[in-house]
Amino acid sequence: MNIETIVADQNEFYRSGATRPLAFRRKQLQRLKDAIHRSEAKIFEALHRDLAKSSYEAYLSEVGFVLDEIRFTLPRLSRWMKSRRVRTPLLGFPGASRRIPEPYGQVLIIAPWNYPFQLAISPLIGAVAAGNCCVVKPSELSPRTSAVLAGIVRDTFPPEYVTVVEGGPEASIALLETRFDKIFFTGSTRIGRKVMTAAARHLTPVTLELGGKSPCIVAEDADLPLASRRIVSGKFMNTGQTCIAPDFLLVHKAIKEPLLAKILSDIKSFFGDTPRLSPDYGRIISRQHFDRLAGLMDGCRGTIITGGDRDRETRYMAPTVLDNVEWDDPIMEEEIFGPLLPVMRFDRIASIQKEISQRPKPLALYLFTKNRKTEHQLVTNLSFGGGCINDTLLHIATPYLPFGGVGDSGTGQYHGKASFDTFSHTKSVMKRYFLPEPPVRYPPYGKRSSRLLRWLLR
């Protein structure tokens, strides 16, 4: 089936009104949930073949993540779908005003390779909940997971409602040349710009979930054992191939050496003396990305204090910490997206606040401190998509917090109700009643009308 046929069939199905009823939406979400449960073993195998993910990490960060999102959505969907009455100003009196959510219509979701199941299904949950038809384009770099995803969707939904289009860049280009009512893209900032350019041709609204260099700051008063465990976990999960992973570490000079000692100890505790043998440590997605990371490692002027070993044939790259890195180091010029952790020291919070504020706005920011003034200073004065105080990554795991970037790290948000809102257009409707109208509305306008107007709009 070609893309033109898919689009035409989905447009016809959407116009039939079949996707709008609450009962239909709930049924589709439940069917998706059941299909994921049935396919767990296939999903785990595919993720292991693509990224060497363990079944535990696959459930934690992919399967369990989306199951919980469906669980959260189902009992709340009826409330989200209801129109909401809002106040009507005196100028509109007598009348009533409502905000009514409606589906966009036909949605395109372009998913990445690093969490290939979660980052395809999670936005799909929002699109289905909001009543849309959907085309999902998974990444060609995770072909086994893409194939399993396509099978789940094919067995669960008719293609005129939801379908998966597999293929390489040529398939993505063809889809982006087609008119959709909404585009949701997760990936790099570079490709995000191309998606936005393509969407502009049709004036299609977009949500862009991108990336950036997410700083992790450890203040002098931080709990070092806690900070170390949570930094190592957040950085090296999925072999560092996480858009919100701590990209680089900023440590107060007074605690840098003890913190680094704990980080090295925790890397060994998590992955053993030889991480390549650990069942909980994955692989780089492709040799192209491996070569890019190897170039960043070799070009860094810092000192490797642990790790550094790698094997291009198996795409293995050890958890690597690089000390004494400077702001102008080549590794600080782009998002790392891999298991390399540059470390810099600081002596004043104000100095790193200035450095971070002069750079593109990051997708995430992490701060370890017990000082509320330090917390307030950085959270208030730095712009970033989201983050954690005294932890890493976990802000993405709650449906109560919208997730998204700002500036170069993205536009728009999702998760929980924010997913429903992202895939919905809100219609604003005012209803007027057949009662006397305000005398300021119609000409001729006199002094009395002017005085009344100024009183109403003051």
Q: Could you tell me how far CA 88 lies from the centroid of its own chain?
A: 36
SS3 state of residue 156: helix
Cα(165)–Cα(152) distance, integer angstroms: 13
SS3 state of residue 111: coil
Cα(410)–Cα(169) distance, integer angstroms: 21
- Going by their DSSP bridges, the two strands 303-306 and 248-252 should be labelled as unpaired
- Going by their DSSP bridges, the two strands 162-164 and 386-389 should be labelled as unpaired
Cα(218)–Cα(225) distance, integer angstroms: 12
Please identify which of the residues 57, 209, 216, 335 carries the catalytic annotation. Answer: 209
Upstream peptide bond of 94 is cis (omega within 30 degrees of 0): yes
Three-point CA angle 188, 192, 8, nearest 5°: 125
Please identify which of the residues 243, 300, 335, 388 carries the catalytic annotation. Answer: 243
Catalytic (active site) residue 388: no
What tokens does 203 get? 């004036």
Residue corresponding to tokens 């400077």? 326
Residues whose CB falls within 8 Å of the CB of residue 429, separated by 6 or more in sequence, listed in order: 97, 98, 99, 100
Catalytic (active site) residue 134: no
Q: Could you tell me how far CA 134 lies from the centroid of its own chain?
A: 18
What tokens does 79 get? 């409330």
Cα(155)–Cα(158) distance, integer angstroms: 8
Rg (CA), the chain: 25
Give the residue ranges of DSSP H helices in 202-348.
Answer: 224-236, 256-271, 287-299
Q: Let me know: does 352 contact 346? Beta carbons within 8 Å.
A: yes
- For residues 198-228, b (16+ Cβ closer than 10 Å) or e, as one string? bbeeeebbbbbbbbbbbbbbbbbebebeebb
Identify any residues that bridge with 96 across adjacent strands, giving them in sequence order: 431
Q: Let me know: does 412 contact 207? Beta carbons within 8 Å.
A: yes
Q: Let me know: does 269 contact 279? Beta carbons within 8 Å.
A: no
Give catalytic residues, as residue numbers. 209, 243
